[in-house]
Amino acid sequence: MADIDTIAKRVALHGAALATLGTDPAWDKALRAYLRADALQQADLEFGETAKGQERRKLECIMLADRYGPEWRKHPGAEAERRRIFEEGEESDKRWTERFCKPYWRASRELALTPAPTIAAAMFKATMIESDEVWNDCDFPADCMEILQSDFARLEV
- What average pLDDT does the chain have? 94
Please state at what angle helix 25-47 crosses helix 79-96, rounded to 10 degrees. Answer: 170
What is the three-state SS of the chain? CCCHHHHHHHHHHHHHHHCCCCCCHHHHHHHHHHHHHHHHHHHHHHHCHHHHHHHHHHHHHHHHHHHHCCCHHHCHHHHHHHHHHHHHHHHHHHHHHHHHHHHHHHHHHHHHHCCCCCHHHHHHHHHHHHHHCHHHCCCCCCCHHHHHHHHHHHHCC
pLDDT of residue 75: 87
Residues in CB range of 53: below 8 A, 6 or more apart = 88, 89, 92
- The predicted model scores a pTM of 0.87
**Is a pLDDT exceeding 90 seen at residue 157?**
no
**Interatomic CA distance for residues 113 and 125, integer angstroms:** 9
Query: How confident is the model over 137-154, as a mean pLDDT?
Result: 96
pLDDT of residue 127: 96
Cβ distance 100 to 41 under 8 Å?
Answer: yes
pLDDT of residue 13: 94
pLDDT of residue 40: 97
pLDDT of residue 138: 93
**Is a pLDDT exceeding 80 seen at residue 1?**
no
Cβ distance 144 to 112 under 8 Å?
Answer: yes
**Angle value at C-alpha 131, between 126 and 137, nearest 5 degrees:** 90
**Is a pLDDT exceeding 80 seen at residue 65?**
yes
Task: Quote the percentage of the chain above a pLDDT of 90.
Answer: 85
Instruction: Read off the pLDDT of residues 82-135 as tens digits, 9 standing for 90 and up.
Output: 899 999 999 999 999 999 999 999 999 999 999 999 999 999 999 999 999 999
pLDDT of residue 71: 87
pLDDT of residue 2: 79
pLDDT band at 68 (very low <50, low <70, confident <90, very high): confident
